[in-house]
Amino acid sequence: MNLFSQPLKALFRQLFVGIFCLLLCFSINAEDSLSKEDKLKMAYIWHFIGFINWRDLGSVKRPYEIRVCIDGPNNFLAFFRQLVGSRQAGDLERSVVVLQLNTARKCELIYVRYANKKTALKLIDAQSLGGSTVIVADTSSIYFPDASIIFYIENKKLRFEVNLKKIDSLNVDISSELLKLARIK
């Protein structure tokens, strides 16, 4: 027994295809909402991980986990998770876990995108920052007194600055290869 006529089946099929295409467009637009600059910053952060050695982690256990905490929208976090995927950072003894900053408790690297003085102090207090947390700030206009690496734009190109005094105060080693690419503060 045929419950639906051919025209009704065709209408349902077109409706299904239309809804599927609409959902596909929304998912593509969510990823496209990140600018090239944002994607480039995530790629830089991914590479920073490979050029930084957290001394206290290496001595505790191997392999170890680098927790990267992101202060940004969900699409930013999703893009970085996709970038990291199942790849290893640096040597084969590290794995990378990407977390939302407001839910994380201990992070080896923090990316701060939107912080004013009140937010920065709240984050510092909540994180109980130890001697090995590397903070990467989105721009120098963000107030984050403990930032070790700061992005900036020069001649329409994304660059980064390393606060060597702050890095030296942390329990980390940063590769000279990374320092060659940075502006040193």
Q: What are phi and psi of 122, to 5 degrees?
A: -65, -45
Strands 52-54 and 172-174: antiparallel
User: Residue 140 has what pLDDT?
Assistant: 66
Q: What is the pTM assigned to this prediction?
A: 0.73
Sign of the alpha-carbon dihedral angle for 85, 127, 51, 115: positive
Kindly give the residue spans of alpha helices, DSSP state H, lying in 52-175: 55-60, 74-84, 117-127, 164-169
Residue 55 Ramachandran class (φ > 0 left, ψ -120 to 50 alpha, else beta): alpha
User: Residue 128 has what pLDDT?
Assistant: 57
C-alpha 116, offset from chain centre: 19
* 93 in Cβ contact with 63 (< 8 Å): yes
User: Residue 17 has what pLDDT?
Assistant: 45
Query: CA dihedral in degrees (159, 79, 65, 100; nearest 10)?
Result: 100
Instruction: Give pLDDT tens digits along the chain (185 positions).
Output: 455 566 555 544 554 444 444 444 444 444 458 889 999 999 999 999 989 988 877 555 555 788 898 887 888 889 989 888 856 555 556 788 898 887 777 888 988 887 666 666 666 665 556 678 898 988 766 666 678 999 999 999 999 999 999 898 888 999 999 999 999 98
The residue to which tokens 């407001």 are assigned: 102
Closest CA to 143 of 112, 117, 111, 114: 117
- CA count, 13 A, side-chain hemisphere, 130: 12
User: Residue 60 has what pLDDT?
Assistant: 55
The whole-angstrom separation of Cα 49 and Cα 174 is 9
Kindly give the residue spans of alpha helices, DSSP state H, lying in the chain: 6-32, 36-51, 55-60, 74-84, 117-127, 164-169, 176-181
